[in-house]
Amino acid sequence: MSVSQKTGGILEKSGTQHDIPETLIPVGDLQGQKKLQESLSIITDREGKYLTFTLDGEEYGIGILKIKEIIGMMPITSVPRTPGYVKGVINLRGKVIPIVDLRLRFNMQSIEYTDRTCIIVVEIEGQDITCTIGIVVDSVSEVLNFKNEEIENTPSFGTNLNTRYILGMAKMEGKVKILLDIDEVLQTSDFATIAEPA
């Protein structure tokens, strides 16, 4: 089942264009302008549709535009000398796809796979290459549309904790869903030798 089937073939991404007042940026400070524009772009780009899924009882979300399809578990071929969270590779319609157990990537306890365990096939982008990778999750929930005002910035957990992989925290019905930057979670450099270009 592909995500496009689940969402009726309509993949939307909404956002609001904002202008930065010129009085806030010194004339000729091109680097400052670029940084402000990039920061604002990240905030506005968070609005849109997310595929939500569960890991260890918590809910996470990945932007729908990063999702290629959802498949059930299938035979995985182990690859020697890869990180522990890389389960191996699968043959998906003639294409070799690396498989990452997201529980292990986040240092969670490993569990036995069930009939609800799914592989979400995502496309990640690096500096030099774009790769297709499958991530194993406990179960897939639903596609939700979050507006900017429903997404909070990631709180500070201390200087030694890297949270760049978190886009934000989405609030819905008294609960919080963690929105992931999948490009930060799965960096292409970790899979360059076993992944085919997308």
pLDDT (tens digit, 9 = 90+) per residue, 139-156? 999 999 999 999 998 877
Domains and CATH numbers, the chain: 3-9+17-154+161-190 (2.40.50.180)
Q: Rounded to whole angstroms, how far apart are CA atoms 132 and 155?
A: 30
pTM over 0.75: no
CA distances from 138 to 9, 40, 48, 69 (A): 25, 33, 23, 16
Two tokens at 36? 């402000």
Tell me how far CA of residue 184 lies from CA of 66, 69, 74, 189, in angstroms. Answer: 13, 20, 26, 11
Least confident range of 12-21, 26-35, 48-57, 97-106: 12-21
Q: How confident is the model at residue 116, as a pLDDT?
A: 96
